[in-house]
């Protein structure tokens, strides 16, 4: 049996004042609670509860209750501390971004992002040249257009529409394009 589950069950019995009330709090049957307490007492080779009309704790039971509540509180604090560290981004993050994307899409959100994650150091390089992500100098890159086959994992984050525009003078001289060419 899991020691933590046994501790939690025992604490519930002590705080509820009876096995029946503890079972209701825990959402399990009275027999399961009773079985867990018996297994705990067997493992400890000590009686924790004087059984009778009213529930009384033995000296060992009082000590086990005190220490168990302390241990579970410390465990809860530890989990909260570790969880909190991973909820907040920290460290450094190096990103390569095309200039057009940076100006139009990314820049407006950077100040807000940096306020949300002040422990994260952003290093954003705005360049239209493709950087090599495999060399380890960048954590991620935003690229426009189709990627050549590679071992990189990609995700589309925004549509990239292209429009061909021409001045009326250009169209007079060269006419409207009639062929879709991909050079």
Q: 62 or 82, which is more confident?
A: 62
Residues 6+ apart with CB under 8 A from 122: 92, 93, 95, 110, 113, 114
pLDDT for position 103: 73
- Separation between Cα atoms, residue 154 and residue 151, nearest integer Å: 9
pLDDT digits (tens, 9 = 90+) for 11-54: 999 999 999 999 998 899 999 999 999 999 999 999 999 887 78
This prediction's pTM? 0.49
Structure tokens at 74: 């410390």
Whole-number mean pLDDT of the chain?
A: 85
**pLDDT of res. 87:** 66
- pLDDT for 48 equals 94
On the question of pLDDT at 142 being above 80, the answer is yes
96, pLDDT greater than 70: yes
CATH for the stretch 91-174: 3.40.190.10
Find the mean pLDDT for residues 144-149: 71
How much is the pLDDT for 61? Answer: 94
**Measuring CA to CA, how many Å separate 78 from each of 9, 72, 74, 75, 158?**
21, 10, 6, 5, 40
Pairing, β 140-141 against β 91-97: parallel
The CATH classification of domain 3-86, taken from the options 3.30.360.10, 1.10.10.10, 3.40.605.10, 2.60.40.10:
1.10.10.10
What is the rounded CA–CA span in Å between residue 93 and residue 183?
36
Beta partners for residue 140, in sequence order: 95
Stronger pLDDT, 146 or 38, i.e. the higher one: 38
pLDDT at 135 over 70: yes
| Residue 50 phi, psi (nearest 5) | -80, 120
Q: pLDDT tens, 158-181?
A: 777 777 888 999 999 988 877 766
Q: Where are the domains of the chain?
A: 3-86, 91-174
């Amino acid at each position: 049996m899991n020691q933590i589950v046994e501790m939690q069950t025992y604490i519930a019995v002590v705080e509820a004042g009876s096995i029946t009330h503890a079972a209701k709090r825990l959402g399990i049957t009275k027999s399961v609670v009773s079985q867990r307490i018996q297994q705990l007492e067997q493992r400890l080779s000590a009686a924790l509860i004087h059984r009778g009309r009213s529930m009384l704790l033995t000296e060992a039971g009082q000590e086990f209750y005190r220490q168990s509540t302390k241990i579970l509180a410390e465990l809860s604090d530890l989990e909260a501390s570790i969880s909190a560290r991973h909820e907040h981004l920290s460290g450094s993050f190096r990103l390569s971004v095309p200039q057009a994307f940076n100006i139009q899409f990314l820049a407006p959100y950077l100040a807000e992002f940096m306020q949300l994650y002040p422990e994260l150091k952003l290093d954003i390089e705005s360049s239209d040249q493709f950087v090599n992500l495999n060399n380890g100098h960048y954590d991620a890159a935003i690229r426009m257009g189709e990627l050549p086959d590679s071992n990189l994992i990609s995700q589309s984050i925004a549509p990239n529409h292209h429009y061909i525009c021409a001045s009326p003078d250009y169209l007079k001289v060269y006419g409207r394009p009639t062929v879709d060419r991909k050079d």
